[in-house]
Amino acid sequence: MADTKTHALTSLPSKFTARFSRENTKQRTEPGCTRESIMEKITEKVLLEKGLPKANKLEKITSINLSRMGLKNQDLPVALLNKLSSLEDLDLSGNMMQKLPARLFLPRLRLLNFSNNDLEDVTSLAALSGLEELRLDDNLYLTVSDEHKVMFLLPNLKFLNGKDISATASHIRHVNSEILMKRVIGVWEKNFSLPDPPSSQSLKELEKKFVSAACFQVKYGPSSLNDYTKWRVEMIAKEYLKSLTGPEKEEEEDMTLETLEKETGSPAKRKSHDTEETSDSEKSWKKRTLNPVATPEASARKSSQLTSAASVESSPRKSSRLQGTPQKAHPKEVSSPRCLRMKTPEASPGKSCRLQNTPKKANVTEVTVTPTAMGVKKNLKAQLTTPKACSSTKAKNGIWKTTKYQVPKEPARLQPLHVLQCHSKQDSREDFSTQLWACAFEPAHNNSNADAWSQSVATCGGETVCVIDCESGHVIKKYKVPGEEFFTLAWTTVLMAREGGCARSCSILAAGGKRGMVKLIHPRANLAYGEFRASRRTISMLRFSPCQSSFLFTGAYDNKIIMWDIGGLDRDYNFKTSQLLVLETCSTPLQFCLPPHSPDTHLISGCDNGLYSFDIQLSKNIQKRTVEMEIVFPVYKKSNKKKNYRTIDGLSFLTEDIIASKSQMQGSIYLWSWSRTRAEKGRKKEVPAVILAELQWSNTEIPYLSLNTCPGFGYVVCGDEQGRLWTYHITDAAKANFKSGKAVPATEVLGWPSLVRNGTGPIEGPSINSVAMDPELRYLVALSDKNMVVIWRRESV
C-alpha cells in the first residue's frame, strides 16, 4: 500500500475560494523590495513563519503562502523546498515565474496556485504528479493546448482554474490518446520498417523521419489544439519506435492512486488480456504507452485506476451521524499492535484474532462509458447479455419460482474466528476511527448448485474496498481510492466474451460512495476495470437484480433511485451502461430489497423518511416514476419532536413473503407480510404493514445499524451500539406461535469478543453498522464503526 497521505477533497473548493478571493492584480514586488531582499527572505526561518501549522521543522508544514513576492525561477531554493515533505498546499501566485524549477520534489502536494505568473512551460508541472487542484489563471502565454498538456501530465488532477475537468481529462488521457496511437501506428505500418541490420545511426535517422512524418500526417481535433496534438504525436511515435527496438521487460505498472493490493500491501500485478488479433509489436507498445503518468481509468492492459469524480461532499453517513442523535464515545486511543487476543473462555480458546496487515436530473438516454485506455472497439457486434445469477426461474404465469429452504430446528452455534483491521488510513495501526459500512459475500460459479457461494466477503469503508477470505482471515484483494468514502457495495455475475465466440461468467463487484461514482471491479483478475457516474451526490445504496444480473439499482442523496443496465464485458473489459428507470423518492434511500416472487416487478426501499414500494416493470413505457405505495408501521404513532421513527435503516426478506425491517430508535424489529400488505392497498397510497411479529432489540437511538437475514437457516441478525449481535432463529414452529403485541426475545445475543491489546487492556465494543451471512450460514461477518471486521464461524462447519 502506498504510504501517501490522503487529502480530503471536500475541503479543496473552500480552500481555493478563500485563497483566490484575494486581489488578483499582478503585483511583482512588495514596496521597497529588491531582488536581494527577496532572496534573503526565502530562508528556512521565513518558510517556518509563512507555513502552517506553526512548527519548528519544515517537515511538519502542510500549507505555505509565497504569493506576490516577485519571485523568479532562480529565486526558489529547491533543496530547501524539498524539505517540505508534508506540504499539501502551495501558493506561488502573483510572481514572475516562467516554470517550476527542476528537481523540485513535493510528494504530498495536492493544491498549487500558480496564477498570475509568466508560465510558459507547463511540462515542468509533471513532477507534481499528486496535484488534485491547480490554478493557472492570468498566465498570459498559456493556450488551450497547454491546458490539455496539463490534464494529460497530471493524472490526479480534478480541478483546473476552479472548474471540474474530470470528464475532459479522462477523454484526453484515454480516448484522445487511443485515437492518436492508432494513427501513429498506421503511419508506421504504411511507410516504415526497421532497418536490417539495425544500427544506432540508422535508428536515429529512422526516428527523425518517422516522428516528422507522424507529426505531419496525423491530424486530430480543432486547429487550436495543433500544438498539443503535435506534442503528443511526437511522444507516442518515439515510444512506439522504442518499443519495437528496445528489450521487452516485464514492468509492474503504476497503480499509485487506486490500487488493488495483496495483503502484504504491495500492488497486485494485473493479468494481461492481450488478444491474438494484436501484433507482437503492438503488444509491447501497449504495455508502455499511456503510462508516462499514472492513468486514472482502469483497463485490463493499462491501469486499474479510475477517474476520480470531482463532485465531492462531506460524508453524509454516520461519519457525521444525524445531528441530535447520541453517539457512543470511542475508547481512549491506544497503541496498536496488529494482533489482538480474544478472551473467549467458551469460544475457541487459544485462537488469536488477527489484525491484518448537487442534485441533477437524470438523463434517461443511453450513456456510453469508455472504461479502458484502449477505448471502445468500433465494430463491437452487440451488447453482451448476462446470465441470470439467481436460483429462481420464471414460470409461464410471470411468477418467479424461488428456492424452498428447509430451516433447521436447532439454532446455529457461532464462535468468533478473526478480527481484522484492514481499512486503515495509510495502513496505520493507530486507525480505530474509520467507519465500515457494507459487506457482502461473493457468489460462486458452480452451475450445478446456483445457491453455492464462496467464503470470500467484500467489505467497504473509508477509502478502501477489501475482499477477505473468511476461513484464513487473509485480505486477498484491496482496492483504494484516496479521498473517497465508500458506503455501499454489491456483487453480481456477468458474462465476459472469450475467443471463439464463447463466454465465461465472472464475479463483478460494484462499490460507491460520496463521489457519486460506481466503481466496477473484477477482483479475481486484480482489475478495477471501469466506472460511471450514477449521481452528482453521494451514493447511499447499490443492489443488483437477482433475476437479471446486469441490472443495477443505485440510490443517492439526490433522493433518486436509478435502474441501470451495465451489460456484459468484451475481452478488453469494454462495457456499456444504459439508464432504464428513474424512481423519485422524498428522502434518501438507505436500503433496497426485491420480492423473491417478483424481483422484476417491485422494488421496496427503506428511506430516511419512510418505507416505499415502486413499480419497476420495464413493460410500462414510463421511465420516470414516483412512489406506488408507502408502507407505515405502528411505531410511527410514537413520533414526536424529539424522536423520529420513520428512518428505515434495516430491511431484508426472511422468506419469499416475510420481511424483516426496523426503524431508527424503534428498539425492536418488525416481521411483516409483503403479500398481505399489498392486498390491503386498493387505491390507497399509504398502507399499514401487516405485522406478524415484533422482535426485541437494543434500545438505542444510533441510526444506520442495518440488519440482514439468512433464509436458508431462518436467521435474522442485527448488531447494536455495544458490539453485540442479536440473532433470531425463526423456525416454522416459531412462526406458528407469533403473538401480536408481544416482543419475541432474541435466540442469542453474541457478545463483543473480549479483545486485548498489549499494554492497554481490553477494547470496548463498537457500534455494528452492517452484518452479512453466506446462504449456508458458515460465516457471519460484522462491520464496526471503529475499523474492525469481525468474522464468526458456525461450529459445525
| Per-residue pLDDT at 679 exceeds 70 | yes
Question: Range with the lowest mean pLDDT among 15-24, 108-117, 223-232, 665-674?
Answer: 15-24
Grid coordinates belonging to 64: 505555505
**pLDDT score, position 93:** 93
Tell whether the model's pLDDT for residue 604 goes beyond 80.
yes
pLDDT top residue among 309 and 785: 785
- Tell me: pLDDT of 735 over 90: no
Q: How confident is the model at residue 43 (pLDDT cuts 50, 70, 90)?
A: confident
Helix (H, G, I), strand (E, B) or coil at 413: coil
The mean pLDDT of 214-231, rounded to a whole number, is 87
Instruction: Write down the pLDDT at residue 482.
Output: 87
Give bridge partners of residue 283 from the DSSP assignment.
Answer: none
Determine the residue type at 567: G
Beta-carbon contacts of 657 under 8 Å, excluding residues fewer than 6 positions away, are 597, 673, 674, 675
pLDDT for the residue numbered 414: 94
* Model pLDDT, residue 759: 62
pLDDT for 394 equals: 53
In this prediction, residue 349 carries a pLDDT of 32
Q: Which of helix, strand or coil describes residue 505?
A: strand
Helical residues (DSSP H) of 246-293, grouped into ranges: 280-288
pLDDT exceeds cutoff 50 at 169: yes
Strand arrangement, sheet containing 629-632: 589-593, 602-607, 610-615, 629-632, 686-688
pLDDT, average across residues 766-795:
94
Which residues, at least 6 apart from 102, have a Cβ–Cβ distance to it below 8 Å?
78, 124
> Closest by alpha carbon to 483, among 464, 498, 501?
464
C-alpha of 264 from chain center: 21
Which backbone phi and psi does 782 adopt, to 5 degrees?
Answer: -125, 135
- How many whole angstroms from its chain centre is CA 725? 27
Distance CA 176, CA 156 (A): 17
Q: Bigger pLDDT: 70 or 109?
A: 109
Instruction: Report the distance separating Cα 342 and Cα 419, nearest Å.
Output: 9
What is the model's pLDDT at position 41? Answer: 61
User: Distance (Å, rounded) from C-alpha 76 to C-alpha 100?
Assistant: 9
- Which H or E run contains 354? strand 353-354
> Over 90: is that where the pLDDT of 669 sits?
yes
pLDDT, residue 277, reads 37
Identity at 472, one-letter amino acid code: S
The whole-angstrom separation of Cα 13 and Cα 310 is: 10
Model pLDDT, residue 498: 76
* H or E segment and range at residue 659: strand 658-663
Q: Does the pLDDT at position 429 exceed 50?
A: yes
pLDDT grade for 378, boundaries at 50, 70 and 90:
very low
Q: Is 684 helix (H, G, I), strand (E, B) or coil?
A: coil
Q: How much is the pLDDT for 136? A: 93
Whether residue 528 is predicted with pLDDT greater than 50 in this model: the reply is: yes
Tell me how crowded residue 670 is: count the other CB atoms within 10 A of its CB: 20
Is the model's pLDDT at 386 over the cut of 50? no
pLDDT at 324: 35
Q: pLDDT tens-digit profile of 318-355?
A: 444 333 333 333 333 333 324 444 543 333 333 333 33
Residue 15, pLDDT > 90, answer no
Q: How far is CA 43 from CA 33, 70, 88, 570, in A?
A: 16, 15, 19, 57
The pLDDT of residue 664 is: 86
In 3D space, the residue among 315, 381, 392 whose CA is nearest the CA of residue 596 turns out to be: 392
Residue 88 CA to residue 70 CA, distance in Å, equals 22
φ, ψ of residue 64 to 5 degrees: the values are: -150, 145
Sequence length of the chain is: 797
pLDDT at res. 551: 95
Q: In the structure grid, which three cell numbers stand for residue 553, read together?
A: 439499482
Assess contact for 607 and 630: CB atoms under 8 A: no
Q: Name the least confident of 311-320, 390-399, 492-501, 571-580.
A: 311-320
Q: Which of 644, 658, 655 is nearest to 610 (CA)?
A: 644
Per-residue pLDDT at 194 exceeds 50? yes
In whole numbers, what is the pLDDT of the chain averaged over residues? Answer: 76
Other beta carbons less than 10 A from residue 85's beta carbon? 15
Pairing of strands 111-113, 133-135: parallel
What pLDDT is attached to residue 28?
34
Domains in the chain, CATH or no CATH each = 9-142 (3.80.10), 174-259+266-288 (no CATH), 341-794 (2.130.10.10)
